Chains A and B, each alone.
Chain A
Amino acid sequence: MYVAVKGGEAAIRNAHRLLADRRRGDPAVPALHVSQIVEQLALGVDRVMAEGALYDRDLAGLALMQARGDMIEAIFLVRAYRTTLPRFGYSRPVDTGAMQIERRVSATFKDLPGGQVLGPTFDYTHRLLEPELAEGATPLEPERREVAAEASPRVTDLLGHDGLIEPDGVGNGEVTDITRTPMEFPLPRDSRLQALSRGDEGFLLALAYSTQRGYARSHPFVGEIRIGEVEIELDVPELPFPAPLGRVRLTECQMVNQFKGSAKAPPQFTRGYGLVFGQSERKAMAMALCDRALRAAEFGEDIVAPAQDEEFVISHSDNVQATGFVEHLKLPHYVDFQAELDLVRRMRAEQKDATDIKEAAE
């Protein structure tokens, strides 16, 4: 005999209990500490901070641990916490020109003021597994340089002096906040950059790649990538100077793209911009390529490829939204399915009747 299913509550409780057990894994293996994740899985933590849009290494580490290493789940945890935090102001724009640089490379000039600094990069490592790492080898003390005597101006600023690249644009002092106002298309560039900055790394990477393969080619050069710490400052009305709040680590990528000119204006290179929390060159570069592709209309370029389509790119770049909606398909849909089932059955019955009548007539 059929009895209506009861007990969703107990089932949920038990499922979560099992999850906690599986998360812990074999109790004979020592439990992870959040500090180990923060220190030793730092780039994973960076990604959670970037796409979670909250700069807090410990919370991102905790989220990663709670999510059993599932990036998007960890990002979601951080977002859901972030949204409850009160806003008490907007910082001054950060000056990435004054960044404490740990890495800085340019693909457009062999040498430049401040020099090329490789920093802690996977580039030029041979991708051979290192068994000694598993045995807990102690790394050598890193070489240190003397504090850079020379300033490291941004490559785009150097190009800008000669008018070779389009100006950076002037802010009107107010930034939109996509977490506090609903987005409406077409977006202003600040909204778009915010959305890209917290967009899914994989999605933006694929779109950026598509522009390199001919779907909205933009002839990009890496003007510069820089990674390091910048000061965050807040204007407080009572104070005559901006109040320093601390430092954050950022990755900035300035792409120098296809030039543009006309009979009136001399040709200039154009920009694509990427800025991400933490250390993530891949994301910053992908973002810069996508930003440039999305500026197609601004430059009167034909919009022919997915990467140039603002509604398409921005509406689908948020992985917390995407995962939620894709995964909601596992929720019950039996009411709607019943409606479809009923329709298909009726239509099949009608077709059968029609065939039977036809056959009887013949």
Chain B
Amino acid sequence: MNAPTGSIASYNFAYLDEQTKRMIRRAILKAIAIPGYQVPFASREMPMPYGWGTGGVQVTAAIIGPDDVLKVIDQGADDTTNAVSIRAFFQKVANVAVTTRTDEATIIQTRHRIPEQPLRAGQTLVYQVPIPEPLRFLEPRETETRLMHALEEYGLMHVKLYEDIATHGRIATTYAYPVKVEGRYVMDPSPTPKFDNPKMHMSPALQLFGAGREKRIYALPPFTQVESLDFDDHPFTVQTFDKPCALCGAEGVYLDEVILDDCGGHMFVCSDTDHCESRQGDGYHGQQEETFR
């Protein structure tokens, strides 16, 4: 099982020892059984820093098998440095197949985005979570927030959203927008833009959330109801962009702003690089392509 034989530098499959994986799997099972509930787990020190995806890495390490195909994204992109680093880690310690294609992956570990292409049954989306507690910035004490969840006492969150409306005329939370799961637990969707919240609702894929530093795991089993908190007169809305992606012309997707010069020149391109490249491969192109054609 735990096989440090011979050389000092040998590690178990997927780095974690089997006892640790079992402990994490138990936490995951409990999390799936109580959707949206934060399950404490004995998070390990990982060979990357806390806050850099150790929770997601531990969840992935606990569920990954030799036949899995792994995709890792950060900010929607496969080639951001931390995504590259985590993907290389699993190639090294688990020797699994990796991909950048959303439809080919069985496990997708993500930071801050949900892929644009709808996920299907059998896929697992693993989120890296910095602060799992949606109530943390309203009440810093864990002892208090656990009690608030237990008593389903979420008034404070509604007051916060109401205060936003009173001050700014709208709910001013743009990412890590709180959701209610199956009408029970208020959950932090991790710092994804609220644009991605609707993708969580009734998703056929399993969604797992790992917070390493804060030692919590939570989950959304497939086909779970996930509602973004709102008011009848201020319904939840997502971001919209005025222009399509400059590279692939996609509309209704999340875009990143790229600054082109120091005179205010900028353009918008897909945050999801795989989605953008696939569309370009299929012959779609945006305005930039036309200009340079």
- The answer to whether A and B come from one shared complex is yes
A interface residues with partner B (beta carbon < 8 Å) = 1-2, 4-9, 11-12, 76, 79-80, 82-84, 86, 179-186, 311, 315, 320-321, 323-328, 331-336, 338-343, 347, 350
Q: Are B41 and A338 in contact (CB under 8 A)?
A: no
Q: Is the CB of A336 within 8 A of B175?
A: yes
Separation of A11 and B269 alpha carbons in the complex (Å): 23
In whole angstroms, what is the CA distance A7 to B84 when docked?
9
In the complex the two chains form, what is the Cα distance from A347 to B84 in whole Å?
Answer: 36
Across the interface, B42 reaches (CB within 8 A) one of A5, A180, A334, namely: A180
Residue ID in chain B nearest A7 by CB atoms: B79
Contact A327 B49 (CB under 8 A): yes
**Besides the known contacts A86-B17, A320-B49, A338-B254, 19 further A-B residue pairs in the complex with CB atoms under 8 A apart:** A1-B292, A2-B247, A8-B81, A11-B81, A83-B44, A83-B46, A180-B42, A183-B215, A185-B142, A185-B143, A321-B213, A325-B50, A328-B51, A328-B52, A331-B52, A335-B193, A336-B112, A339-B195, A347-B170
For the complex, is B288 an interface residue (Cβ under 8 Å from A)? yes
Do residues A179 and B174 form an inter-chain contact, with CB atoms below 8 A? Answer: no
Query: Could you list some 15 contacts between A and B, CB below 8 A?
Result: A5-B79, A8-B80, A8-B81, A9-B84, A11-B81, A182-B215, A185-B143, A323-B49, A324-B50, A324-B52, A328-B50, A336-B191, A339-B175, A342-B241, A347-B169
Q: Are B45 and A80 in contact (CB under 8 A)?
A: yes
Check B76–A335 contact: CB distance below 8 A.
yes
Contact residues of B with A, CB < 8 Å? 2, 4, 11, 15, 17, 40-47, 49-52, 54, 74-77, 79-85, 88, 111-113, 130, 140-143, 168-170, 172, 174-176, 191-195, 213, 215, 239, 241, 246-247, 254-258, 260, 267, 269, 271, 273, 276, 288, 292
Judged by DSSP, the binding face of A is helix
Bound-complex Cα distance A326 to B213 (A): 12
Smallest CB gap from A343: residue in B: B174
Q: Which residue of A lies closest to B44 (CB)?
A: A83
- Chain A residues near B80: list those with CB within 8 A: 8, 332
Give CA–CA (A1, B285) in the complex, Å: 14
The residues of A that contact B111 with a CB separation of less than 8 Å are: 331
A86 to chain B, nearest CB (A): 6
